[in-house]
Copies of this chain bind each other. A is one copy, B any other.
């Protein structure tokens, strides 16, 4: 037996458990959460997140990182600065990427605010990220539930997106709206030699929708390029497909857009990436930033994990190895559904600087 008559626990155990510590660096923040005895002050609660730990700290660091992007963006740019020969437009070019579902959700209003006030410089999204914004100008999306049964919904013509529902009629209205525009685009291609690309088409749709609720209306007005190379992968593609029978010949070229996107990174003085979600939007922005040997400031917000080797779930440090993020950057990933955190981020960053940032934009 193990000697129950000993006065002392085994020394290996005591030494392992009671191993003394070396000193920590003096400047490490102490963990301390918000004290509600001081009253309810949500701004102060969010300030306290830096010393709360886990993803609360990540959120606080993301807010810091974006505030640095904004500060650098406001710095004046002199001729000869930036890469290559071009003079950049601002001290920091901000790339914003987001997946389709965020436009279906109420995060759209935060994104629209950023476009309206020209607070970001380049947008990358998916087909759904474009069309859902336009469709919302035609009809509503509703709050449902993740567990609504698919078969019953389909029989009733109701589409589910997570816990949202969208009547299929919305897509019928979209067809009515879009078809004449496609006709017109084809006419311009054939008569004026317009070489359509996804980014040109998105600006055209933003112009046509002519609705201040729309992200792409403001992107058009404020001349923010919107890239979406797989623009046919969604309802827009369905309509383009139908249109190819009715009135064939439209061409959407993705070569010109990759050059245009990469130029946004190459000729920037500094760049910041704010990427909500994964997949194409995450990779496309990061890949463009490889063209300048890496972004300077980075915030990812997503729920992906790295263990399956996906780009979506990769930590920012993987992009550092590729040269997509600078080796001296301090990128931040917030592991969260963007709907939970992005409105809070906007509240603590862009919306704090609306006056300074708004100079020069068109807002009506």
Which among A155, A319, A340, A354 has the greatest number of chain B C-beta atoms within 10 A?
A: A340
- In the complex, the answer to whether A21 meets B251 with C-beta atoms within 8 Å is no
Q: Which residues of B contact A177 (CB under 8 A)?
A: none
Asked if B292 and A12 sit within 8 Å, CB to CB, the answer is yes
Does A253 interact with chain B (Cβ within 8 Å)? yes
In the complex, the answer to whether A255 meets B252 with C-beta atoms within 8 Å is yes
Closest residue of chain B to A160 (Cβ to Cβ) is B321
Q: Which residues of B contact A279 (CB under 8 A)?
A: 278-280, 312
Task: Given A21-B158, A142-B30, A246-B8, answer yes or no on A335-B319 (Cβ-Cβ < 8 Å).
Answer: no
Q: Are A143 and B28 in contact, CB atoms less than 8 angstroms apart?
A: yes
- Given A156-B22, A162-B309, A258-B237: A50 and B143 interface contact (C-beta under 8 Å): yes
Distance (whole angstroms) from the CB of A13 to the closest CB of chain B: 4
**A137 on the B face (CB < 8 A):** no
Given contacts A3-B85, A13-B262, A150-B327, contact A22 B157 (CB under 8 A): yes
Q: Write out, one digit per residue, whether chain A residues 13-51 have a CB within 8 A of any chain B CB (1) or not (0).
A: 111111111101000111111111101101101101111
Residues of B within 8 A of A306 (CB): 146, 162
Does A317 lie at the interface of the complex (its beta carbon under 8 Å from any beta carbon of B)? yes
Contact residues in B for A12 (Cβ distance below 8 Å): 83-84, 266, 291-293
Q: Which residues of B contact A57 (CB under 8 A)?
A: 143, 163, 339
CB distance from A271 to the nearest CB of B (A): 12
Does A100 count as interface, using CB distance less than 8 angstroms?
A: yes
Known pairs A3-B86, A17-B235, A162-B318 / 5 extra A-B pairs, C-beta < 8 Å:
A2-B86, A17-B323, A20-B169, A42-B43, A59-B340
A53 CA / B141 CA spacing, docked (Å):
10
Q: Using a Cβ–Cβ cut-off of 8 Å, how many residues does chain A contribute to the interface with B?
A: 178
Whether, in the assembled complex, A194 has its beta carbon less than 8 Å from a beta carbon of chain B, the answer is: no
Encode contact with B along A68-100: 1 for CB under 8 Å, 0 otherwise: 000000000000000111100000000000011
- Whether a CB of chain B sits under 8 angstroms from the CB of A161 is yes
Report B-chain residues with C-beta under 8 Å of the C-beta of A30: 140-143
Q: A105: CB under 8 A from chain B?
A: yes
- A105–B238 Cα distance when bound, in Å, is 33
Are the C-beta atoms of B21 and A343 separated by less than 8 Å? no
Instruction: Please state if B154 and A22 are interface contacts (CB–CB under 8 Å).
Output: no
A347→B83 contact, CB < 8 A = no
Name the contact of A250 in the complex, choosing from B147, B150, B255, B338 (C-beta under 8 A).
B255
A110-B36, A148-B321, A258-B240 are contacts. A17–B303 as well, Cβ < 8 Å? no
Q: Is the CB of B233 within 8 A of A53?
A: no
Shortest Cβ distance from residue A237 to the other chain B in the assembled complex, whole angstroms:
5
